Amino acid sequence: MPRMAKQLANIKTSAIRRTSAWLALAKDKREIISFGGGAPSLPPPPEFVQKMKDALNDPWRAVSYGGTRGSVDLREAIVRDLHKYGNVELEGPDNIIITHGGTEGIFAGLEALLDPSDEVIIADPTYLGYPEVLKIMDAKAVTLPVYVEDGFQPDIELLKKKVSRRTKALVLLSPDNPTGRVIRPEIAKAIVDLACDHDFWIVCDDAYKHTVFEGKHTWVSTLPGAEERTLTICSFSKEASIPGLRLGYTYGSIEAIDGMEKYAQYLSLCPETLAQMAMTGYLNDPEAKDRYLSEQIIPTYRERSDSMGRYIQEYLPEAKITKPQGAFYYFANFEVYLDKIGLTDEEFADELRLKKNVIVIPGDVFGENGKSHARMTFVSEPDKRIEEGVKRISEYLSEKQANKT
Ligand SMILES: Cc1ncc(COP(=O)(O)O)c(C=O)c1O
């Protein structure tokens, strides 16, 4: 066989995607408790499902190719949606590109902004979609450590030291994956000021903008000076519970979106037509979205987040946690336990899966600062199974400690 690309050796297999593969292969999925990938467990909004069925009444249209930038109807609906929820004032639908989930937005967005050797500031820990894609693009990730003691808020003085002549962009996730931190408005403003002073881009990842449990989402592009230098990546996977339909969008200046469209032509050709038709119908019924968010998403996930926090404190008292203000995850520090049993977080996650059928994501896949942590999603399982999963982790640790002594 001829040699394959050298670059492959540098790209990590996604630990999150690996857990989805295990779940797909598992014969008895009920036995496995997944605190792994951030897969919503709520059904999609009924109005969305109905629009999907309606769209199939015109099957030729529903399965045909569309424009690379996505349907104008959907983009117009998004312009109204962004204005309603965030007071975002876009000129029009040309400021938006529809993507295959936020994932294509990240890829095409970074492709459109970066040249090889450009520096991009990312938090440590951060969502692993970013560092790996930066490697593929030969760009340089400059990491900004964030700490539990600061509620995972970036330290602006430290950030200033990370900015150089080569800084091309900074990635800001809020609510954050894996830490659940919601950026404080004054910190977001300080980041925008720095970006203006040093002329770099802000790539906002707003995949979790509608799952905020404490505080408020900051719509960064609306801050003074931010509009022309912000690319905001959004996803319908989490807010409409449709991760398998692969639908998201990115908004920003027309030039930046034009740039993304060039890549998207060859990456995916066009977004999926049927999903776009259904989403257009759903967004054009704004009360349906209000209802879904306020009656389903927020109360269900807030309750599960509270439950998981309570169970961790009860059964795993030496794990350090901070309550997530948003997104889907606890980023729990297991250092005290792992020191006692002599395992790394990767080994710990493997053992939990093999011996206890519990899936967690090892913290170090999110960066150096994630060592000895585990990311545990609270959205994929109902209360009883969250308790069962946390108990199994506690049992594993007790058994392992007992075997060591
Ligand atoms: C922060 C963040 N951005 C983007 C994505 C990509 O999501 P999708 O491609 O399903 O929209 C995820 C998925 O978990 C995420 O956590």
What is the enclosing helix (H) or strand (E) of 122? strand 119-124
Q: Which two tokens stand for residue 1?
A: 């066989």
Mutate to test the pocket of ligand 1, among 18, 98, 122, 177 (most ligand atoms within 8 A of CB): 177
Q: Which residue has the tokens 């997104």?
A: 327
Distance CA 214, CA 7 (A): 41
Query: What is the CA(397)–ligand 1 centre distance, in A?
Result: 31
Which atom of ligand 1 lies nearest, measured to the CA of 104?
Answer: 9
Query: Which residue's C-alpha comes closest to atom 16 of ligand 1?
Result: 177
Residues in the chain: 405
Distances (CA, A) of 107 to 67, 74, 144, 317: 19, 21, 21, 40
Backbone angles phi, psi at 332, to 5 degrees: -90, 135
Query: What is the CA(336)–ligand 1 centre distance, in A?
Result: 30
Backbone angles phi, psi at 126, to 5 degrees: -150, 170
Query: Which residue's C-alpha comes closest to atom 3 of ligand 1?
Result: 207
Query: What is the arithmetic mean of pLDDT over 280-308?
Result: 96
- Provide CB contacts within 8 A for 394, sequence distance 6+: 315, 316
Beta-bridge partner residues of 232: 204, 251
Contact 194, 162 (CB under 8 A): no
Burial class (CB in 10 A: 0-12, 13-18, 19+), 1: exposed
Residue 213: which of 328, 329, 379, 325 has the closest Cα?
325
Query: Which residue's C-alpha comes closest to atom 7 of ligand 1?
Result: 102
Residues 149-200 have pLDDT tens digits of 899 999 999 999 999 999 999 999 999 999 999 999 999 999 999 999 999 9
pLDDT at site 28: 66
- Positive or negative: CA dihedral 180, 102, 349, 352: positive
Q: Which two tokens stand for residue 328?
A: 């889907």
Residue 26 has pLDDT above 80, yes or no: no
Which atom of ligand 1 lies nearest, measured to the CA of 106?
Answer: 4
Residue 13 or 385, more confident: 385
Tally Cβ neighbours within 10 Å of residue 391: 17
Query: What is the CA(236)–ligand 1 centre distance, in A?
Result: 9
End-to-end CA distance of the chain: 51
Residue 246 has pLDDT above 80, yes or no: yes
pLDDT at site 27: 62
Query: What is the CA(205)–ligand 1 centre distance, in A?
Result: 8
Residue 9 has pLDDT above 90, yes or no: no
Share of the chain above pLDDT 70, in %: 96
Q: Are strands 373-377 and 361-362 parallel, antiparallel or unpaired?
A: antiparallel
- Provide CB contacts within 8 A for 295, sequence distance 6+: none
Which atom of ligand 1 lies nearest, measured to the CA of 328?
Answer: 16
Query: Which residue's C-alpha comes closest to atom 4 of ligand 1?
Result: 102
Residues 333-379 have pLDDT tens digits of 999 999 999 999 999 999 999 899 999 999 999 999 999 999 999 99
In whole numbers, what is the pLDDT of the chain averaged over residues? 94
Which atom of ligand 1 lies nearest, measured to the CA of 327?
Answer: 16
Q: Which two tokens stand for residue 215?
A: 């505080």
Mutate to test the pocket of ligand 1, among 110, 127, 209, 217 (most ligand atoms within 8 A of CB): 127
| Radius of gyration for the chain, computed over Cα atoms and rounded to the nearest angstrom | 21
Which value, to the nearest 10 degrees, does the dihedral of the CA atoms of residues 63, 94, 185, 129 take? Answer: 50
Q: Are strands 329-333 and 248-251 parallel, antiparallel or unpaired?
A: unpaired
pLDDT at site 152: 95
Which atom of ligand 1 lies nearest, measured to the CA of 247?
Answer: 11
Residue 230 or 403, more confident: 230
Residue 230: which of 208, 255, 247 has the closest Cα?
255
pLDDT at site 404: 74
Residues 87-109 have pLDDT tens digits of 999 999 999 999 999 999 999 99
Residues 197-232 have pLDDT tens digits of 999 999 999 999 999 999 999 999 999 999 999 999
Confidence of residue 148 (pLDDT cuts 50, 70, 90): confident
pLDDT at site 405: 66
Confidence of residue 29 (pLDDT cuts 50, 70, 90): low
Share of the chain above pLDDT 90, in %: 89
Beta-bridge partner residues of 120: 141, 169
Contact 135, 173 (CB under 8 A): no
Contact 307, 378 (CB under 8 A): yes
- Residues with a CB atom less than 6 Å from ligand 1: 38, 101-103, 127, 129, 173, 177, 205, 207, 235, 237, 243, 248
Distance CA 395, CA 392 (A): 5
